[in-house]
Structure 1
């Protein structure tokens, strides 16, 4: 397992270096970029400060300061929850979305995957399987795609979240959710 860990660590290091050296990302701290990347991929149930904190596995204070900095720099806005006025949702600004579109996916990763051909797809499947095994054995939230969740209900009328009973727009089912449960999991 040392080789697997070494490979994953090296890939992570290369990714951090690429982000740190990218001219469009010079003003962002790594945690700020991680928060932006998460918020760009999460759904309306998962775009809260607490969800960002849980997803990143950091302290509330650290994440709070990072979110304040992102708001100050015009990358996100806080929108009060329509039902619970104590809660806020974090929405990326057009500037943030344009930045993420410009840097994601990283060029080095796209180029390498293209050179790998069909084997890149096999690698994605294997890495997802590895991630799911770790999440299950360590009992950590999966934060998976809505369409792969045990609560996702598809019908001819459209998708519905079985947990909330709310209708889901087609783009939403491709986003990650903090309430995600794999089909074989039981709800907490």
Structure 2
């Protein structure tokens, strides 16, 4: 095992221990806390039970049991989608957000919005490694909405080129299960706000969902 693999393994072990400790402090299992973290970052295409199964690589049965626990503890609610039949969106409660404010991610010193070159290079390397491992394992990428090839900015606002639906600004900063890497990754990892209409190419026609 090379030194990079050893460092990643050690970092992973420390993060897993932090998640276990944080979860235990609230009477939860690690997967319960991980699902809360995920839902806090998921957009409306991704706050679904099936998306949770895909993101974590777990069975639908495990997802169902996890959601039952979180709902029983008052940490999430289910909201039917009026346009998509039986589809249910999962939403965090105020209690869940208070739990997340006490986790390891909030204890880490926040990184500046504009990363220095060494940190930016590290982040891009980790992103590339993650995408490679996801491809090898046949997993969805789940990237940030405004970094997707389908993200469009028009005079009237933002739109998903895959579904043709209008996107609220807040949704464009969340992760999406439909994310597809753009032809170039030059803009990925720069932590910039969604581009303005003046900086975007002419809108593409939306693909069928």
TM-score (norm 1): 0.86
Write out aligned runs for 1:2-151 (5 A): 2-22=2-22, 25-103=25-103, 105-107=105-107, 109-110=108-109, 118=116, 119-151=118-150
How far did residue 81 of structure 1 move?
Answer: 1.2
Tell me how large the CA RMSD over aligned residues is.
2.6
Match of 2:188 in 1: none
User: Counterpart of 2:175 in 1: which secondary structure?
Assistant: coil
In proportion to residue count, which structure has more helix?
A: 1
* Structure 1 unaligned spans of 5+: none
Q: Relative to structure 2, which stretch is displaced further, 92-101 or 70-79? A: 92-101
CA distance in 2, matches of 1:101, 1:6: 30
Using a 3 Å threshold, how does the CA distance of structure 1 residues 63 and 160 change in structure 2: closer, same or farther?
A: same
Runs of 5+ consecutive residues of structure 2 not aligned to the other structure: 185-207
Q: 2:49 and 2:79 mapped to 1: Cα distance?
A: 11
Q: CA deviation at 1:138?
A: 4.3
Secondary structure in 2 aligned to 1:164?
coil
Q: CA separation of 1:102/1:138 partners in 2, compared to 1, >3 Å: closer, same or farther?
A: same
CA contact (8 A) 1:24 1:99 kept: no
Q: What is aligned with 2:180?
A: 181
Say whether the 8 Å CA contact 1:20–1:26 is kept in structure 2: no
